[in-house]
Chain A
Amino acid sequence: MRKKVLLMGKSGGGKTSMRSIIFANYSAKDTRRLGATMDVEQSYVRFLGNLILNLWDCGGQEAFMECYFAAQKDNIFKNVEVLIYVFDVQSQELDKDLHYYQSCLESILQHSSQAKIFCLIHKMDLVPEDMRESLFNERQSILTNVSKPLQCSCFRTSIWDETLYKAWSQIVYQLVPNVKGLEKTLTNFADIIDADEILLFEKATFLVISHCTRKPHRDARRFEKISDIIKQFKLSCSKLTAAFQSMEVRNSTFACFIELLTPNTYVMVVISDPSISSEVTLMNIRNARKVFEKLEKDVSRN
């Protein structure tokens, strides 16, 4: 199954940087090395095994942009599943950015009207902390207006914190086949092993693709934080030419396990009952593997 994802936005907006961090294991610092994207760079990312994301990273220089809406229009905007439009929050030419965004939407409407649209207000780290909220809300209302009749979801992002993972988790969530079935199985699993929370991560990106929460938690941003934490640790492992395989962390109030679940996913189980020993939980996870592997196979067959 192949799904086409368009990544657009002004030149220097950070499209290639975020793509490299999410899909190519770059650290935020590494992105300084990246140069400008010429024309369109296509890449295929195997995501969840049989789902292949076909990323079209469209260079944002004006000459290219004009071209996308003219000669290349059919080629680019056909069969798009997801459009990700990146806005540089510091851009001085908001009107021009919006103009391009609108041309983009017109073409989408024409060729793939079913596409999901995501707007990322990027480089939020450059805005002072106390102004971020209001600035984002302002931009969001502008974009929602401009996007009509299409629906767009807005996210504020920065490669320097976990907000990037939040946005991308939401984006890939739209692309995961059989999300509902996955969620149901996960809930069932959590009930059986009496877990507080179970998260399902895509293996390569460590983005959260599904979750089940049985005990309310105070931190709403924890999923993207965890993606960020694990991703950082994976990066430091790679310096040792070893890769992260599994993890167990505990203190007196919780135990948390991250284990491979299917060939394409990791599962994280959080348990707060101290009487459940590690071995029991690990065995439960091992036993759950068969169920989830079957689920994944069924989906790919359909």
Chain B
Amino acid sequence: MIEETSTVVNDIDSDKNDNKTSYMRPNILLTGLRRSGKTSIQRVIFTKMQPSQTQFLKSTPHLTINQFSCGSFINFQVQELPGQLHVFPSLQFPNSDGTHNGSSSLYDDDNTTHLVSGGYDMERLLKRCNAVVYIIDAQDDYSQSVSSLNMIIQSGKRVNPRLRYEVFIHKVDQLSEEAKIETQRDIHNQVREHFADVNGGTDSWPLTSFGSNPNTQSLLINFHLTSIFDHSIFEAFSKVIQKLIPQFNHLEDLLNYLISASNMEQAFLFDIQTKISIATDSSPTDMQMYELCCDMIDLLINMSEIYGRSNDNVVQTTEDDGIINDEQSYDNPDDEDDENEGHIVNGIHESTNSYSNYSFSTTPMVTSFASMTETITEPTSNVFDSMSSSVIKLTGGRALYLKEINRHLALICVLREEALTKQAIIEYNVNQLKKSILELFHLTPQTSSSSVAS
């Protein structure tokens, strides 16, 4: 039941600008059976709720849409579809909501979507989203959950063959290592077998007619073992987000250049609010190293909150950090970028002299917004500023190096202590990287909006 007017407004909005939003604001459909932990996951990742507190969460009665932003320029939308609404036998949903049905007919331009008599139109949801995150409670009997997943994949294949499925085998913290692997294999097999059957059997799903590319027939599905009580949920969600970022490959390349040029072992790009790593270099990531990087961010923020808060810092705005007000960002989608830009320039002026001669192509605009950034501070991370950096040395000759990229993003590098002796070179390289990343994200929204305009 969509009762909140805001939710409905979001719905219509995003439909109107379908092209635009699908590019700028990737859509993630988060679903799974009831009590599988959907809301908990969102709360833990995006609102920093303590994992132990999630047991008090109430079940979510209706489809909720949340806007999130990662690193300030990666915006995405998470639609949480409550599990208890999935009564699937006929691929239909129980309905009790007439109003939504009415509004949905407004933009039912496609004739294939008329399966649902009302309520949640699964196919429409699937069509609009870029990834489905399906949560399976591994501590429970998951056969029903898997068949529900199969149903979703089936209808997804029809309406959106390029859709990615990310299956979180959740609540694995109570399982032994063996049980985890066994569960993952079992679920994987069940899904695979199901689709081997369907494809081999009746030709009821004419897949090729939908996808322009024959390769899209293959199912894009990944399995992750997750738990909110350790870092695995952040790691899994990072992978989901990474695949949705159009610039991901470029980011990966940039990080690869950086580590080879500066003799580093690994590099991560983190959103400091959510601790989602939006990019890493292409070497295989070590889960433990990822965790340590997350803890390093905590350390930096905690220490900065104690000593790094200047006393005259009284200006606080109402802008909510993790969750961006939807209306605002739709009305003027460039607004955010401008803020960033002001911030970028500020940062460069403050941090190094070597970049003082560097200028953006849009300098006049920048100066007008530079003053704005002063007022835009966030309650939780206003201690994270353009000069934020940290070096931690570990025994065994390893070191961690953290540097601010923008007010949401931090670069963390793992390197040998010997490499750190050439800190000036590293700093130069990191500043180059910072410049490139900001340019990358500065340009992309413009190209996208121009493509929409044409």
Contact = CB atoms under 8 A, between A and B. Distances in A.
Interface stretch (A136-144, A177-185, A245-253): A245-253
Given A233-B299, A236-B291, A250 B394 contact: no
Contact of A247 (B292, B311, B391, B396): B391
B9 interface: no
Interface in A213-253: 217-219, 222, 225-226, 229-230, 232-233, 236-237, 239-253
Taking residues whose C-beta sits less than 8 angstroms from the other chain, chain A's interface range is 20 to 34
A256 B304 CA distance: 9
A23 interface: no
Interface string B341-359: 0000000001000000000
Contacts of B396: 241-243
Nearest to A274: B387
A248 B391 contact: yes
Given A237-B292, A270-B307, A249 B394 contact: no
Contacts of A44: none
Given A233-B295, A237-B292, A239-B291, A250 B392 contact: no
A131 to B, nearest CB: 20
A197 B306 CA distance: 12
B350 to A, nearest CB: 7
B347 to A, nearest CB: 10
Given A233-B295, A236-B295, A250-B389, A243 B306 contact: no
Given A240-B288, A240-B292, A253-B308, A229 B299 contact: yes
Interface string B279-312: 0000000001101100110111011101111110
B192 interface: no
Given A225-B306, A240-B289, A252 B350 contact: yes
A247 B296 CA distance: 10
A197 B308 CA distance: 13
A302 to B, nearest CB: 33
Contacts of A233: 295-296, 298-299, 392
Contacts of B350: 252
B384 interface: yes
A143 to B, nearest CB: 31
A244 B304 contact: no
B310 A249 contact: no
B389 A252 contact: no
B306 A253 contact: no
A233 B299 CA distance: 7
Contacts of A241: 396
Contacts of A245: 392-395
Given A229-B299, A237-B394, A246-B393, A252 B292 contact: no
A173 interface: no
Nearest to A240: B288
Contacts of B296: 233
B300 A243 contact: no
Contacts of B291: 236, 239
Contacts of A232: 295, 298-299
Contacts of B310: 253
B391 to A, nearest CB: 5
Interface string B396-409: 10100000000000
B150 interface: no
Nearest to B383: A251
B308 A254 contact: yes
Contacts of A253: 307-310
Nearest to A225: B306
Interface in B295-340: 295-296, 298-300, 302-304, 306-311
B423 to A, nearest CB: 9
Nearest to B294: A236
25 contacts: A197-B307, A225-B302, A226-B303, A229-B299, A229-B302, A233-B295, A233-B296, A233-B299, A237-B394, A239-B288, A239-B291, A239-B292, A241-B396, A243-B394, A244-B395, A245-B395, A248-B390, A248-B391, A249-B390, A250-B308, A251-B387, A252-B308, A252-B350, A252-B387, A253-B309
Interface of B: 288-289, 291-292, 295-296, 298-300, 302-304, 306-311, 350, 383-396, 398
Query: Top 9 nearest A-B pairs by Cβ distance?
Result: A252-B387, A242-B394, A236-B295, A243-B395, A251-B388, A245-B393, A251-B308, A254-B307, A249-B390
